[in-house]
Structure 1
């Protein structure tokens, strides 16, 4: 656990004297409350995450979605990954279907059965997520000597939760390409802020890391996966 204001380690976030008497811990370094969000509800925390407040990211990554002092993925983090991946599949699938000028590969995928389409898009989204996480973890360790890769992945998953925002728009027609592009850029902005906050680095370095990761992921999803699918399809024929 850390102070969300200055990142100084603390032993506890609060002291409970009785059922109705709880006192928040004051950070010995900055003399502020170590984590003000322990008294906030989830809605306020979610709003501050959307507003890219560093304290909200630190609260979630280091004080909520952490397993003691070890670098292990919290069970709730795994559930967030499953939820964002499934919703990402919907976004990618809808975008491909609504794109007016489809590539031959897209037309071929859409000509297959629904199950085959779903498996292809979920594999594509899982590969995209894996490349983003592995690349940023490797760059963080190489450039900054970061030794908590799972904490970094937790921060990236929290930032990618903005993919869930369009669920509020389901009462309107959402399946348009421009909407998915807006969501994609929102996710990238949140990813940069998450890296800057968790790694305590500048915006330029965080943006470069995300740019490299997104470029590798783009190359994988747009070139490598279709080529692999075409080769396997030829062998099956």
Structure 2
């Protein structure tokens, strides 16, 4: 029994040292360098108080930002939240929610003209659940408390490459109507196994970094194309970005939350 337990512990450590600590947690910390605030790891007992369980909207942050951007419409917050929930049930690939998102009337959810008026958060392993069906994106990104992006990160040379992720999205998540609210609110889905683009003899790359938007059945994975006219190893925009320093306290909190 002791031998079996030691073997299991070794397997867990090896898994943690690849998928979790070499890809997922560094991605979270890199997001903090881009300006995202780590929002803590969310648990089921926080549902209804810290987040809306069937949309994953962060209630407190969304309310605070809504009132900040709409000071004369504070009393409409509960109705707006209710309306968003109803819109996310529409069979329109999130069009009605998108129209609300980019609108400035009757209320504003994001200040596109002044980005600094918005707040950006990130977390990992935030379960999207409705009834008995659920999926758990590796990383979720929020703007003003709204979960607008999720990221799936895999270790290099993962089994099946990004084709495996494409098949999972197109064959399992998109067709499942119970996931419709989560798909409708998500504006961008990003997938990466932290490798250079390689089509392995074909035309379409099967490894690298890709993105897609919501679909009812099938969505194409697209490559990111950074402008790099000089052919530099790191594209100028990325090389010259004013990254923030890593906060050691935040780093410790992230690693503690995910038992790293």
TM-score (norm 1): 0.28
Structure whose residues are more often strand by fraction: 2
Structure whose residues are more often helix by fraction: 1
TM-score (norm 2): 0.27
